[in-house]
Structures are given as C-alpha cells and as structure tokens.
Amino acid sequence: MHFAKHLIAKHDAERHEDNTKHDAERTEDGISESKKVTREWLMFAAIVIYAGLTAVQAYLTRNIAKSSQDQVNIAQTANRPYIGLNTTYTNYFEDKGGSIIRSGVPFNDTTGMQFSPEIKNFGPIPGTDFHSDWKIFLNGIEQVGEPRITDRPMMFFPGQTIRYEARVNGAQWQDIKNGNQTLTYQIMIVYDGPTGHSESCTKQRYEPQVGSFMLLGPC
C-alpha cells in the first residue's frame, strides 16, 4: 500500500510538472504571438504613414510645379506682342471748283470720304513675320481694287502703327451717306511672337447716322 501511494504521489508530481511546463510553453507561445501581432501592426502603421507622407509630398510637388508653370504662363502672356485694329480714321472732302475742302466730320455738301483703318502693336515686345490684308464690301459685294497701305513691315515694333487707305466718292458715296448702300471692311492680321502664331480678323461697318465705323466683331 505504501508503495502504491508512493507511485501515485510520484505520478501526480510528474503530471503537475508536465502541466506547469505546458502552461509555461503556452504562456511563451502567447507572448510570441502577441509580439508577432504587435510587429505586424507596427509594420502596417509604418506603411500607412509612409504612404500618407508620399501622397502629401506628391501633392505638394504637383502644386509647386503648377504654381511655377502658372508664373511662366503669366510672364509669357504679359511679354508678348498684341497687334490689332486700333481705330478707323475718317476724312470727308468737298470739291468746289477744283478746290478740295477737307473735314473730320461730314457736312451737307460732302462729295466723298477717305477712311483709314489703323493697326497697332499694343504689346511690350515686337511681333515677327507680320503681314495683313483687308477687303472692302458694298452691300456684301467685295470691291475689286488695290487698297493702298502706307507701310508693311515684317517686324512690328511696340507702339508702331500702320494704316490702310481707301476712298469713296460721287454717286457711290451719296448712296452710302443716305443709307442706300452698306459699306463694310474686314482686316486680317497675322504675326508671330514668343507664345506662338497669332491670327485675327476684324469686321467694321460705316454708320452714316454717326459718321464713323462701328465694330461688328470677328469675320
């Protein structure tokens, strides 16, 4: 009996030792698993933070690049030629026995009108490869002829102007003055600058009620 009790006691001690060992192993495994989970979360957080910083850096880089490009565009827009129609000068005349009387405004005995569209470079730098042309219409029909131009430069400098000239007189002028015919013209302007090639076309119509040309808009 004593031997049996001794064996039982020894068996219980061994089982207790095994349980203690297993508990220690489970505790160690739990600690290892916890450390593993912590490491994984730390790695995930580091990836998220890195991705966020990368996105912010990319956003800031795009904004800086866009701001720089905007500044370049503004500078290019400001420093370029602007060549266009400035105004249309009118000069009325009357032929009295071979003596030509001129006036800046029409009068009852006016026998004709000279009109001169003026082109100007409004920009701060020259325009290159400049050329222009114009057409005159009566009641929508183009008038054949050689309109005279005072100058036709290839380099158009800042503030520079040139004028076309044409004249109507006699019965044709009387019809225009009385509103029986409509006088219009259009000017085409082509030139180059730092920002590239530019083309424009402007159309104007003579208004006898006010004695001047009015802008109709683009051709």
CATH of the domain at 183: 2.60.40
Cβ neighbours, 10 Å, residue 80 = 17
Do residue 71 and residue 109 come from a single domain? Answer: no
Name the domain boundary from 47, 78, 109.
Answer: 78
CA distances from 53 to 46, 64, 65 (A): 10, 16, 18
Predicted local confidence at residue 99, as pLDDT? 58
Predicted local confidence at residue 7, as pLDDT? 46
Question: Token digits for 197?
Answer: 């090639």
Q: Residue 134 and residue 207: Cα distance in Å, rounded?
A: 19
CA distances from 67 to 53, 62, 74, 77 (A): 21, 8, 11, 15
CA torsion, points 45, 50, 56, 58, in degrees to nearest 10? -150
Contact 125, 79 (CB under 8 A): yes
pTM of model > 0.75: no
pLDDT in tens, 52-95: 777 778 777 777 666 655 554 555 557 899 999 999 999 998 87
Domain count, the chain: 2
For residue 173, pLDDT beyond 50 = yes
Q: Mean pLDDT across the stretch 17-35?
A: 56
Q: Residue 81 and residue 72: Cα distance in Å, rounded?
A: 16
Do residue 91 and residue 170 come from a single domain? Answer: yes
Name the domain boundary from 36, 63, 78.
Answer: 78
Do residue 129 and residue 211 come from a single domain? Answer: yes
Name the domain boundary from 78, 104, 130.
Answer: 78
Predicted local confidence at residue 27, as pLDDT? 55
Domain that includes residue 46, residue range: 1-78
